[in-house]
Structure 1
């Protein structure tokens, strides 16, 4: 089994349906040394120019799939002439559709300090997503779909075998507020109980929960929140909001190789909401539908739903649909935090109780006021 650390493994070969995905040159070298047949391999985003001599010596290439990467003209001609399938990318696209790892926050915000948010890969990808000139281009659609599949694959690798607790909540919660502090404590407690905290990866309550999980030292969390509160929200100045977050992240980041505790799944569908930086890995998607379903599907330890508005309500009922059709198997719990909000403000709770009546769902849906109660419910099966 792959060791799970804060850095995604760079040495992965996974057999799937009798095909082998190879995501590093080291893995390719092992396959070549061990005499693994090349037909059926999937070479993902590799600089094959550095292995040209070895590959030119092979003719067992029918069914070999090369996803992006770099090739010399001679190697490209050799692969094609012997039946390999080569999938190109667009050098003008702001993303690499065949990437094998999740994003790091610093990667998404590269260039922020010098040229501002508009120059970052995150902002450029959003602009590309919004560009009407390419929105219906079938090749661009294909690249985005492949990119999202690559994100899901990398996320599966990172979370394999780990208990994941999802935290949902509103993006409008501001740094320095009582609600933000409560979400920080929740994320920290869930991670301290041995669960990986997964959120929608955006600002507000999502950022707070990711921060709480990402910061291992409870003693520095209060100081970190005070620093973040200097820029309470992102709406006025995304660059200032992100710069403050990155500075705090660098100060509270764990040592390299620390276990995964915090992941975010944002989307360019809501590109006006920048991704928060307090994650061990960021799986950013173009498709919000894939992002939402992928987040819920990976929350093996259950969900905590903090007060929120339309987007959070959508997630509540997406999760409720899974619970409703779970059959007789006991599904992971879903805990709503905030009785007044979920009964009077946005009366979701009565609908959930009605749906769960007489079904397995009824025993795993909870309404509490204290986030500590939510932690106890989710952590119990894993402690």
Structure 2
């Protein structure tokens, strides 16, 4: 039996064997230890970061309306959560949305799979990690990123909303970043939906019982997130938000046209 060599993705590249480094680009960017020579490398890193933004913008600019789906990479295929992710991907595709995930296994694979099987567009935005995580087989358009913050920009910029399935630290990171962007008005008309009330119920209780009760957030901030067990309800919430956004844009355009016609 042939021994499998270690391998790692470097953006669009793949390295194996002795060429695999012992750290990732993110680790080296954030590492402040050791001699100061690393300071002279940062300007070159800026060019690499810029290239990742350009690649992401170029690949994703032509996408139809899309929804980003988050969830655990550790969800087994025979679990109810995986089946829910497949159902969600299928429902989004049937509603006319492209599905964007992190491109990995588990819930991400399920959502990509559902979209692909329903004839929709299935997108995966991968990330270089210390441990290898290959792009799942149901991704039609896959982009590999070195830096988390570039990848996160793509998750938000090209999505009409977030739907979050049960997940761990990475999923929580993405969830709370989305909520912060909505809370601070950085993005508007952007639904954030949690699928699985039993899984997310304890978190919502803590937010209400600790954050809200001690004044760390406003009572209205809880309205920024919707919890449901119904895939169709989650998809409908995205569609209704889009309808309101489009109606508001039409009203704004008509107001401008009316002012122009009146000579204002």
TM-score by length of 1: 0.50
Q: 1:337, 1:371 within 8 Å by CA — same for their partners in 2?
A: yes
Contact kept in structure 2, 1:117 and 1:123, CA below 8 Å: no
Q: Name 1:357's counterpart in structure 2.
A: 219
Deviation at 1:189, TM superposition (A): 0.6
Once residues 324 and 146 of structure 1 are traced to their aligned partners in structure 2, the CA distance between those partners, rounded to angstroms, is 27
- Residues 131/180 of structure 1: CA separation in 2 closer, same or farther (3 Å cut): closer
- In the other structure, the counterpart of 2:191 is 333
Residue in 2 aligned with 1:124? 15
Give the distance between the partners of 2:129 and 2:55, measured in 1 at CA.
15
Aligned twin of 2:75: 173
Which residue does 2:165 correspond to in 1? 306
Q: Which residue in the other structure is 1:222 paired with?
A: none
Q: Which of 33, 49, 57 matches 1:145?
A: 49
Quote the Cα distance in structure 1 between the aligned partners of 2:24 and 2:167.
Answer: 30
2: CA distance between counterparts of 1:317 and 1:310?
11
In the alignment, is residue 209 of structure 1 matched against residue 69 of structure 2? no
How far apart are 1:370 and its partner, in Å? 2.0
Separation in structure 2 between the aligned mates of residue 131 and residue 290 of structure 1, nearest angstrom: 15
Tell me, yes or no, if structure 1 residue 273 matches structure 2 residue 177. no
Contact 1:190–1:379, Cα closer than 8 Å, also in 2:
no
1:208 to partner: Cα distance:
0.7
Distance 1:201 1:269 in 2: 13
Alpha-carbon separation, structure 1, partners of 2:199 and 2:111: 19
- Superposed CA deviations along residues 182-220 of structure 1, whole A, max 9, x for unmatched, are 101110110110011111111110011011111236xxx
Does 2:240 align with 1:380?
A: yes
Measured in 2, the distance between the counterparts of 1:356 and 1:270 equals 38
Deviant stretches of 4+, over 4 Å: 119-123, 361-364
Task: Give the length in aligned residue pairs.
Answer: 217
**Cα distance change of structure 1 residues 314 and 305 upon mapping to structure 2, 3 Å threshold:** same
Q: Distance in 1 between matches of 2:227 and 2:142?
A: 29
> Whose helix proportion is higher, 1 or 2?
2
Consecutive unaligned residues in structure 2, runs of 5 or more? 29-37, 244-264
Separation (CA, whole Å) in 2 of partners of 1:163 and 1:343: 29
From the superposition, tell whether residues 310 and 348 of structure 1 become closer, same or farther in structure 2 (CA, over 3 Å): farther
Q: Cα RMSD over matched residues? A: 3.2
CA distance in 1, matches of 2:163, 2:8: 35
Residues 318 and 119 of structure 1: is their aligned pair in 2 closer, same or farther, counting only changes over 3 Å? closer
Find the aligned partners of 1:168 and 1:191 in 2 and give their Cα distance.
Answer: 16
Residues 185, 209 of structure 1: 8 Å contact kept = yes
**For 1:25-174, what aligned pairs fall within 5 Å after superposition?**
118=7, 123-124=14-15, 127=20, 130=23, 136=38, 138=41, 141=45, 144-159=48-63, 162-174=64-76
Which one has more relative contact order, counting CA pairs under 8 Å at least 6 apart? 2
- State the shift of 1:155 in Å: 3.0
Q: Residue 226 of structure 2 corresponds to which residue in structure 1?
A: 366
The alignment partner of 1:124 has SS state of strand
CA contact (8 A) 2:24 2:130 kept: no
Displacement of 1:362 in angstroms is 4.8
CA distance in 2, matches of 1:156, 1:357: 36
Residues 213-263 of structure 1, C-alpha deviation per residue, up to 9 Å, x if partnerless? 11236xxxxxxxxxxxxxxxxxxxxxxxxxxxxxxxxxxxxxxxxxx6111
Match 2:201 to one of 316, 323, 343: 343
- Residue 262 of structure 1 corresponds to 122
How many Å apart are 1:280 and its aligned residue?
1.9
Aligned in 2, Cα 1:269/1:275: closer, same or farther, shift over 3 Å? same
Query: Hey, what's the Cα distance between the residues in 2 that align with 1:183 and 1:117?
Result: 30
Of the three residues 139, 156, 164, the one matched with 1:296 is 156
